[in-house]
Structure 1
């Protein structure tokens, strides 16, 4: 009987939290995130990721928030995900996923550099990453970058290297208008708590009233599943389970890099 009550309580908490997410997605939220102390203006945002499918597994709340507010979202993927020899397939899957996420294909770029190959243990040169990213922000007039934090959600070394490459660029650039935000990694319990994590995410964002941390709620949670399903070579049972249970499907907590 006790186990029944526990399971019923957890199920109720999940449903209540999901309703909270759905409610928040329909009201003004995170107003100051893209304003930078000024009135609304269209931002040129570059999402920097390591592999095709990173955008769908981890960043859909951010992408949906930005596109729904009229901002110009572009994606730079620093590898084609060729660890299993499926790089060309995964590259095309990325374009298909971005169509589902309402990002035009011409605003998506993949890099296939011999020194930036997908895989655990593959160390990426931070100076090379900074150079590639700098070329992209210059050519596309980027004024905001969003990427992984130093743990990279899953601890994947390529995710971490992307973070360090962006930071190297930020600390070396003279472009004072360039903002950088990182996706906050959470512990295992929060990571697999689905919409339940909304309570802690909102709490931490409210604690940082100066606007250096923002909680972005997914305005179209179903779109996360649709986008990830475009990565058919990766859409195996455990990733389907991940997208269902992951808090990153329902919300993103972003922290401003100082």
Structure 2
């Protein structure tokens, strides 16, 4: 009887070990399958994203050198990733349209990207790659915030599209055959910036633009990056983090 019980007990123990090993093996296999499926899904999503070749634009390759074009490509990639993430779209062109539509349909002012994230990206560009489009400015002017008057405080920075730059030369070249970009370049030339009415028109008429075309995709990326926090937002954030 003792021997039988011992044998039965050993059998049960061995069976339990076998079951444990089986589940461990099954768990490992499932984990591997999950990793493989996740990789395949990510690969499928990446392959479905339509990449854009800026060098297919003759005006662009005529105005900018290789290093500058690489900077513009980085800018487009950064904004592509941001709008894709925001809209959960796989196609960048569709993502831009969805993003602009959200801006149009939202009554409140939308700041496209967190300023800290945006500035960190832009400041990591080569200085030449940045200055072909923008400049950083601390010229906020005189304004009232809460109960205080401020005059060009040095702790507030603004990103501005330069009215005279290589990018404006590019828009001028495009303007020979494209009335929209001709008007935009002339507005910067005359007013020094993009007027509120022109900005609103672009947002509302985004469906008129094919964002698979380099000039349109680049302009959309630059436009979204150039949308800044208001002075009040900047000051609120500054004093909150102080």
> What is the TM-score when the length of structure 2 is the normalising length?
0.25
Structure of greater relative contact order (alpha carbons < 8 Å, 6+ residues apart): 1
Greater helix share, structure number: 2
> What is the TM-score when the length of structure 1 is the normalising length?
0.24
